[in-house]
Amino acid sequence: MSNVEREGLVESGADRWEMAPRGGMRVPVVIFASRALLEGMDERVFEQARNVATLPGIVKASHAMPDAHWGYGFPIGGVAAFDPEQGGVVSAGGVGFDISCGVRTLLTGLPREELEPYKERLADALADNIPAGLGSKGLIRLNDREMTAMLRGGARWAVERGYGEEADLERTEERGCMAGAEPEQVSARARERQRQEMGTLGSGNHYLEVQEVAEVYDEAVARTYGVARGDIVVSIHCGSRGLGHQIGTEFLRRMVVEAPRHGIRLPDRELACAPLDSTLGRAYLGAMRTGINCALANRQIITQLVREVFARLFPGHPLPLLYDVSHNTCKEEWHQVEGGRRRLFVHRKGATRAFGPGHPELPEALRGVGQPVLIGGSMGTGSYILCGTAQSEALAFSSACHGAGRAMSRRAATRRWHGRQVVDELAARGILVRSPSLRGVAEEAPGAYKEVSEVVESAHRAGLARKVARLVPLICVKG
């Protein structure tokens, strides 16, 4: 039996499917996907999306993006908004462990022909300058005072200490600093885990890629973004490292214990949550926001490390920032729902914000065309730049997908591929991979992911975001 038939899904728009409430569901489930992507989704995606729909105070629908796959509590690619005035909750599982993992893209102003003679040297220099891998440590050591300042200040803290420029903050969500962060809610263990990890990529699906703009779909938006076919860009994908993971772990344990005290019946312990207006809910939001700031500061530091490498090999190319987007967040936002503006807390797990043209939170230079939406693919297929749309607000609280989405587990990938094999095959295609772990490369083999172009086409057809450009990898530094 197909997923459509088994789950009772009804096509309700372009690449949009709806499941009516049943059982304890308070709202429908809405999945954005082509039929092929929908049929390829694991059964757990639908189960988790239904479970999210049972949570108190959920508004409108439990959404899943085209790259949705099984996650912890929420599906990865899950989007849900909660109203504090209606008993809405915040869920650590709805944010995830790698708080504010995200992507930022830098413009180099270089054409490929200028880069090509330096490609090997550039790959080696980037790998040498940016620590990557499980447990990787950077050169920065934060004492307690500086740790607190970083958790409160985010990318602004980093810029004030010489890592980047003021202009970078204008092209970063929240202007580089998430308001409402409460460092006092972060445990000593979380702080200790992060003490030597600033300016590091980490492991898993994190990467730094040098990419070529291979195709442009919307010339007008591309000009506004500063990209053209044949340009070289650099994309950085990483998050809050050990600190974010520790915050998620600790608050999930507390939420599991406290949920029954608030009369919350959990269909799955992984959906542990707390009312937004409760002491625990407010404490988690304060801690989670420090995780966002940690991730923003981390990507800002790595940006400076990348610029230092390019300054040595390609003087005169300052690498301005196109944009920095986060996923794995819960953000307080105002949205139009049922004819009125409502203050909501939007969980985006493995999903990114996609504000459309005219949104006041966008930089003035980008406001006319909409927010850049940066979609990471696998190291063998490529990535995309999209732009937010006006209709995305009504579709899914101005949200879009964040990547290709895994098609198989990391364990299954290592049974199928060997790291050296992947490195050699990509090198034969002109893609240089640098990684401290061949096992990590095998886990992230291109074949372990869905086809990113199918995911992007689905988001485009659904109206979540509009295609602007396709990027292909030339150099990939993997964790």
Looking at residue 429, what is its pLDDT?
94
Annotation marks residue 206 as catalytic: no
13 is a domain residue: no
Looking at residue 297, what is its pLDDT?
97
d(CA 160, CA 289): 20
Question: Does the pLDDT of residue 33 top 90, yes or no?
Answer: yes
For residues 404 and 234, which has the higher predicted lDDT (pLDDT)? Answer: 234
Catalytic residue among 245, 347, 402, 460: 402
Rounded to an integer, the average pLDDT of 54-67 is 97
Question: Does the pLDDT of residue 406 top 80, yes or no?
Answer: no
Q: What is the pLDDT of residues 176-186, one digit of tens each?
A: 999 999 999 99
Looking at residue 150, what is its pLDDT?
98
417 band by pLDDT with thresholds 50, 70 and 90:
confident
Report the CATH number at residue 403. 3.90.1860.10
Question: Does the pLDDT of residue 133 top 70, yes or no?
Answer: no
Question: Does the pLDDT of residue 134 top 70, yes or no?
Answer: no
436 is a domain residue: no
Question: Does the pLDDT of residue 225 top 90, yes or no?
Answer: yes
Q: What does each C-alpha distance from 118 to 68, 163, 234, 427 come to in angstroms?
A: 38, 25, 15, 15
21 is a domain residue: no
Number of domains into which the chain is organized = 1
Domain that holds residue 110: 102-407+449-478
What is the pTM for the complete model shown?
Answer: 0.96
Buried b (16+ CB within 10 A) or exposed e, 241-264: bbbbbbbbebbbeebbebbeebeb
Q: Extract the tokens encoding 23.
A: 């059982």
372 φ/ψ sector (left φ>0, alpha ψ -120 to 50, else beta): beta
438 band by pLDDT with thresholds 50, 70 and 90:
confident
145 φ/ψ sector (left φ>0, alpha ψ -120 to 50, else beta): alpha
Buried b (16+ CB within 10 A) or exposed e, 267-286: beebbbbbbbebebbbbbbb
Question: Does the pLDDT of residue 122 top 70, yes or no?
Answer: yes
287 is a domain residue: yes
Q: What is the pLDDT of residues 146-170, one digit of tens each?
A: 999 999 999 999 999 999 999 999 9
Beta strands 58-69 and 29-32 are parallel
d(CA 423, CA 434): 8
Q: Are 36 and 10 in contact (CB under 8 A)?
A: no
The residue type at 36: A
345 is a domain residue: yes
Please, what is the average pLDDT of the chain? 94
Rounded to an integer, the average pLDDT of 47-73 is 96
Count how many Cα atoms sit within 13 Å of the Cα of residue 467 in the half-sphere of its side chain: 20
Q: What does each C-alpha distance from 153 to 147, 150, 190, 214 come to in angstroms?
A: 10, 5, 17, 36
380 band by pLDDT with thresholds 50, 70 and 90:
confident
2 is a domain residue: no
251 is a domain residue: yes
Q: How many CB atoms lie within 10 A of CB 314?
A: 17
Question: Does the pLDDT of residue 135 top 70, yes or no?
Answer: no
Beta strands 340-349 and 329-337 are antiparallel
29 is a domain residue: no
d(CA 14, CA 32): 8
Question: Does the pLDDT of residue 208 top 70, yes or no?
Answer: yes
Rounded to an integer, the average pLDDT of 434-446 is 85
Q: What percent of the chain has pLDDT over 70?
A: 99
131 band by pLDDT with thresholds 50, 70 and 90:
confident
Q: What does each C-alpha distance from 48 to 6, 146, 208, 401 come to in angstroms?
A: 15, 39, 31, 17
Buried b (16+ CB within 10 A) or exposed e, 445-471: bbebbbbbebbbbbbbbbbbbbbbbbb
